[in-house]
């Protein structure tokens, strides 16, 4: 793992600035952390927002976000663009989520084979909203930990 580059930080920020406002809110910040290989709790994210939101508008601009990422020592193993492209490639039905079969195909193409029991564990550990699928943020956390 290497420290996140300026370009990687910018890619993550721009990818998660869903409304192109030039800022990210708490929900977008959680997704950003996952892409950067970090897994803070909801309380941590709220605390980071409070500490780094210099303008007190409950959003981080790019400068505030970069400071936070640098201070937290984020690392990258896969670029955000590559991870998002991989997710889209494996999301065969284009519903924004990976079901069990799509995830198995993704992991197999990445060179890993997992038993049904291991797949059950992945969904138990990484399907944070319990809907039986992995959204992009959940997938990013999984990839950062295998």
Q: What is the pTM of this model?
A: 0.50
Cβ–Cβ under 8 Å, residues 126 and 142: yes
Tokens of 1: 């793992």
Task: Check residues 92 and 39 and name the one with the higher pLDDT.
Answer: 92
How distant is the alpha carbon of residue 69 from its chain centre?
13
pLDDT in tens, 43-99: 888 888 999 999 899 999 999 998 888 777 654 455 677 788 888 988 999 999 999
């Amino acid at each position: 793992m290497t420290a996140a580059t300026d370009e990687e930080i910018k890619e993550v920020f721009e990818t998660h600035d869903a409304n192109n406002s030039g800022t990210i809110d708490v929900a977008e910040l959680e997704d950003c952390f996952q892409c950067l290989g970090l897994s803070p709790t909801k309380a941590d994210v709220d605390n980071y927002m409070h500490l780094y939101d210099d303008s007190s508008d409950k959003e981080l601009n790019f400068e505030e976000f970069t400071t936070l990422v640098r201070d937290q020592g984020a690392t990258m193993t896969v670029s955000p663009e590559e991870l998002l492209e991989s997710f889209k490639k494996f999301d065969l039905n284009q519903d924004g989520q990976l079901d069990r079969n799509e995830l198995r195909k993704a992991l197999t193409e990445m060179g890993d084979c997992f038993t049904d029991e291991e797949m059950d564990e992945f969904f138990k550990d990484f399907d944070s909203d319990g809907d039986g699928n992995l959204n992009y943020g959940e997938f990013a956390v999984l990839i950062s930990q295998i």
